[in-house]
Copies of this chain bind each other. A is one copy, B any other.
Amino acid sequence: MRIICNKSELQKNVNIAAKAVALKSPVYILEGIRIEAKNNLVTLYGSDGTLSIKCINNANIIEEGDVVLPARLFCELLAKFEECDLSIYTEGSNVVLECGHSKTTLCYMSAEQYPAFPLFDAVDGITLYSKQLVSMIDQTAFATSASEEKPILTGLLMELGGISFKMVALDGYRLAIRKETLMSEQEEKEVVVPSKSMREVARIIPEDETTIKIYIRENMVSIVCDNVEIVTRVLQGDYVKYKNILPNEFMTRAIVSRQSLYSSLERASIMARQSKTNLVNLEIDGGNMTITSDSEVGKAREEVDIKLTGKNLSIAFNARYLLDVLKEVVDEEIVLDFNTNISPCVIHPVSGEGYLYLVLPVKTSHS
């Protein structure tokens, strides 16, 4: 193999492919990035068995070849090279990286043992702006379960049907649903993808109006964005029938400024965190919501203006479950819908049906 390519472009693409590579793996080749120079194209591959990434990189190919280099070391080296046209060539059992007066030699591994990139037909894809997918992931992934007790809850449900594309996460205490409207009708489909894979996707694709394609198959989901293809395997098992959990009506509705509520909860949560329960109390009374928290070292009391419809209410929550969602909502005003102090609270922006978050209250001695 002998190729010449722009150092910065290669660095960018190697860093993308490396996101699918495990830092440490019992199988050494899985710590590597595959570089394939063939048919006038250089393709970079990274994979950990669950997530696979493929990047096309421009290069002048003098001699074709196919090698695997240790990912971490390769990234580190590229970060330290100055901007240049980097020569990469094999020499015996080594790959040489040469740039100006710098010459680094790395043992390479044979590409034969490297996991094959999953094949998929690029047909029947759904089209989105990449920023739409990033927002769908950001607004749901935090609500997936961190525990492997019920593996299916560590995943994000992707639900397709008609012109609706939904992403759903739940962990037993809260539920996040994010919906986008598509340009064209789609068949009904449901898959659950690892939340970890989707978080990597959100880090890789740009938060702008780049058009991306998503291909949802029974056993994998593929995302194509410019020169990058990302494929993740899906989780097996039945997802929770979450629609049954959503209440149809409410007794109390509070409309509140997202920023005010977030700041007040942040302060109250500092005290809440001092006790193990991490509890904040919300006291809704007329046009006012009083947030209190209590611990051995001190207590907090915050007041937030609200627009109230319905009955007054006193209810308690784990502070983190409220902060998590308020951090991700972008709207200025949000709605909090309640029934009783032992039934779920539903949070959504004032405008639009694109986002919905449900959180269970904590039962206290007063509940």
Interface residues of A (CB under 8 A from B): 70, 73, 76-77, 80-82, 94, 101-107, 263-264, 266-267, 270-271, 274, 296-304
Contacts and interface: CB of A to CB of B under 8 A. Distances in A.
Contacts of A105: 298-301
Contact of A106 (B94, B264, B266, B298): B298
Contact of A101 (B70, B82, B302): B302
A118 to B, nearest CB: 29
Nearest to A300: B104
Contacts of A80: 263, 266-267, 270
A143 B104 CA distance: 30
A262 B264 CA distance: 48
Contact of A103 (B70, B76, B81, B301): B301
Given A80-B270, A105-B301, 4 more contacts: A80-B267, A94-B298, A101-B302, A103-B300
Contact of A77 (B94, B101, B270): B270
Nearest to A271: B104
Contact of A73 (B70, B104, B107, B297): B297
Nearest to A269: B80
Copies of this chain: 2
Contacts of A103: 300-302
Given A107-B297, A297-B106, A73 B270 contact: yes
Contact of A107 (B70, B298, B304): B298
A227 B266 CA distance: 31
Contacts of A274: 73
Contacts of A77: 267, 270
A73 B270 CA distance: 8
A289 B263 CA distance: 58
Nearest to A82: B263
A297 B72 CA distance: 12
A63 to B, nearest CB: 20
Contacts of A264: 101-102
Contacts of A263: 80, 82
A27 B153 CA distance: 44
Contacts of A76: 270
A105 B76 CA distance: 49
Contacts of A106: 297-298
Contacts of A101: 264, 302-304
Task: Name which of A82, A94, A271 has the most chain B CB atoms within 10 A of its CB.
Answer: A271
